[in-house]
């Protein structure tokens, strides 16, 4: 519960910083919407419709009121009419209701896209699952392969193998994701396309060229997931090797050998479990960063996730979509950190909170 309360404070801080950063950005959103040849009266009306004619602090309070699940609203904010209120927020649960004021419980409202007029929540609901799927597959690949390779190297204790793995992991950690995406797409989807059958571009669903609609195409997930998983794979491999090597030198491991336990049982049920704490820390941080860092990879492979949405919103100066995307990523980061605290308690009973 403490972590959850801290998470709410962090989310509030992110919301405040993001709003203030976008509020001071140069440029006029109303002119971006209408074009460079619009008259001043049209621009003035659009600024009023978007609420940009109000002071920054008032815009900030209105945005918090929209995003918050518990919010207070006055009839004067809606031209003395609750009809617009109900249309804007949909189904609400009134807590306090008078003729002039309502305090309600509602779904967080991330507003509408300035360009497409679609609900930001609908835009994110369409794109975010694809990014989560890509991040989950990438981190699972990195976790399974990294722990396996790191454990194998730690158990063999071969200097040549150790040095080779260190060189590979350093190379993997230093390789920029956008360059890796272009290189991997060129090699596996262009030079070796006849053998791999993979495409340079494609999302979770592909369009049937014979007019039968779209279909699920999971092979398009292979290259972006592999590209996104390279850097966390290098981190997990090195952390597992280092941590497991340290654990294997401790007294209780020697005691387990002295009792006659099999090496496989000692590694899997005693050493590896205690060696995974730093790995879990790295994986949790990397999973959150993959959600935000998938922008370049998604854009290169045309994976229709949150990365493509963010790039498109940046090009069009669509601030509600940008702010909603950042808040969604921050929310996922908070949930992941709370989940990691629970996993810590399972892996190491010494850090459980009584």
Residues 10 and 73 in one domain: no
Helix 222-248 / helix 177-186 crossing angle, nearest 10 deg: 120
**pLDDT value at position 79?**
55
Q: Which residue has the tokens 């009809």?
A: 83
Residues 201 and 341 in one domain: yes
Inform me whether the pLDDT recorded for 125 exceeds 70: yes
Residues 178 and 301 in one domain: yes
Q: What is the mean pLDDT of residues 59-70?
A: 87
The token duo for 330 is 């921050």
Q: What is the mean pLDDT of residues 333-349?
A: 74
**pLDDT value at position 308?**
83
Q: How far apart are CA 351 and CA 114, in angstroms?
A: 48
Instruction: Give which of 346, 340, 333 is closest to 280, Cα–Cα.
Output: 340
Q: How far apart are CA 102 and CA 210, in angstroms?
A: 54
Q: What is the mean pLDDT of residues 204-230?
A: 79
Residues 58 and 86 in one domain: no
**pLDDT value at position 351?**
60
The token duo for 287 is 């999973």
Query: Is 182 inside a domain boundary?
Result: yes
Query: Is 216 inside a domain boundary?
Result: yes
Q: For 45-57, write each residue's pLDDT tens digit.
A: 888 877 788 888 8
The token duo for 281 is 């820390």
Residues 280 and 157 in one domain: yes
Query: Is 128 inside a domain boundary?
Result: yes
Q: How far apart are CA 245 and CA 157, in angstroms?
A: 8
**pLDDT value at position 213?**
64
Inform me whether the pLDDT recorded for 353 exceeds 60: no
Q: For 270-296, write each residue's pLDDT tens digit.
A: 777 778 877 877 777 777 777 766 778
Number of domains the chain is built from: 3
Residues 247 and 129 in one domain: yes
Instruction: Give which of 235, 204, 238, 242 is closest to 220, Cα–Cα.
Output: 204
Residues 80 and 53 in one domain: no
User: How many residues make up the chain in this entry?
Assistant: 354
Residues 155 and 256 in one domain: yes
192 neighbors 154 (Cβ within 8 angstroms) = no
Helices (H), the chain: 2-23, 29-34, 40-50, 56-67, 83-89, 120-156, 159-174, 177-186, 193-196, 222-248, 251-258, 263-266, 272-275, 277-301, 306-316, 319-347
Residues 208 and 286 in one domain: yes
Which CATH number goes with the domain that contains 150?
Answer: 1.10.3720.10
Q: For 12-44, write each residue's pLDDT tens digit.
A: 998 898 888 887 777 777 777 777 677 788 888
Evaluated on CA atoms 243, 246, 248, 251, the torsion sign reads negative
Q: How far apart are CA 259 and CA 257, in angstroms?
A: 5
Q: Between 281 and 115, where is the model more confident?
A: 115
Inform me whether the pLDDT recorded for 352 exceeds 60: no
Inform me whether the pLDDT recorded for 67 exceeds 50: yes
Average pLDDT value for the chain: 81
Query: Is 114 inside a domain boundary?
Result: no
Residues 196 and 274 in one domain: yes
Inform me whether the pLDDT recorded for 248 exceeds 50: yes
Query: Is 112 inside a domain boundary?
Result: no
Split at pLDDT 50, 70, 90, the class of 354 is very low
Local structure of 112: helix, strand or coil:
strand
Q: Looking only at Cα atoms, what is the longest distance across the chain? A: 86
Residues 241 and 264 in one domain: yes
Q: What is the mean pLDDT of residues 58-65?
A: 87
Query: Is 78 inside a domain boundary?
Result: yes
Query: Is 2 inside a domain boundary?
Result: yes
Percentage of the chain lying above the pLDDT 90 cut: 0
**pLDDT value at position 19?**
87
Q: For 81-95, write each residue's pLDDT tens digit.
A: 656 666 677 777 777
Q: For 158-209, write each residue's pLDDT tens digit.
A: 778 778 888 888 887 788 888 888 899 999 988 888 888 888 888 877 776 6
Q: What is the mean pLDDT of residues 244-255?
A: 81
Q: How far apart are CA 216 and CA 206, in angstroms?
A: 7
Q: How far apart are CA 86 and CA 106, in angstroms?
A: 11
Query: Is 324 inside a domain boundary?
Result: yes
Residues 184 and 330 in one domain: yes
Inform me whether the pLDDT recorded for 7 exceeds 50: yes
Q: What is the mean pLDDT of residues 234-245?
A: 85
User: Residue 82's domain spans which residues?
Assistant: 69-107
Split at pLDDT 50, 70, 90, the class of 80 is low
8-state DSSP, 101:
E
């Amino acid at each position: 519960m403490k972590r959850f309360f801290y998470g709410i404070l962090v989310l509030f801080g992110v919301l405040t910083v993001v709003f203030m950063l976008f509020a001071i950005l140069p440029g006029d959103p109303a002119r971006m919407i209408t074009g460079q040849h619009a008259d001043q009266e049209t621009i003035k009306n659009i600024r009023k419709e978007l609420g940009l004619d109000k002071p920054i602090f008032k815009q900030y309070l209105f945005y918090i009121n929209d995003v918050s699940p518990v919010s207070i609203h006055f009839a004067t904010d809606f031209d003395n009419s609750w009809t617009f209120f109900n249309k804007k927020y949909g189904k609400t649960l009134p807590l306090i209701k008078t003729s002039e004021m309502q305090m309600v419980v509602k779904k967080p409202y991330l507003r509408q896209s300035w360009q497409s007029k679609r609900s930001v929540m609908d835009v994110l609901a369409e794109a975010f699952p694809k990014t989560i799927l890509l991040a989950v597959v990438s981190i699972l690949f990195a976790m399974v392969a990294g722990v396996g390779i790191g454990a194998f190297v730690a158990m063999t204790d071969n200097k040549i193998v150790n040095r080779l793995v260190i060189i590979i992991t350093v190379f993997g950690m230093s390789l920029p994701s956008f360059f890796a995406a272009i290189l991997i797409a060129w090699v596996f989807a262009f030079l070796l396309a006849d053998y791999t059958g993979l495409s340079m571009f494609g999302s979770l669903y592909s369009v049937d060229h014979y007019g039968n609609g779209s279909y699920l195409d999971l092979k398009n997930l292979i290259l972006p997931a592999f590209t996104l998983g390279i850097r966390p794979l290098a981190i997990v491999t090195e952390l597992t090797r280092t941590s497991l090597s340290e654990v294997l030198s401790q007294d209780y491991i020697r005691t387990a050998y002295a009792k006659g336990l099999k090496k496989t049982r000692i590694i899997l049920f005693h050493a590896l479990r205690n060696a995974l704490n730093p790995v879990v820390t790295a994986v949790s941080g990397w999973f959150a960063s993959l959600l935000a860092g998938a922008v370049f990879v998604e854009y290169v492979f045309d994976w229709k996730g949150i990365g493509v949405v963010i790039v498109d919103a940046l090009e069009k100066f669509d601030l509600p979509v940008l702010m909603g995307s950042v808040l969604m990523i921050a929310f996922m980061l908070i949930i992941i950190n709370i989940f990691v605290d629970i996993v810590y308690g399972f892996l190491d009973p010494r850090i459980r909170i009584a």
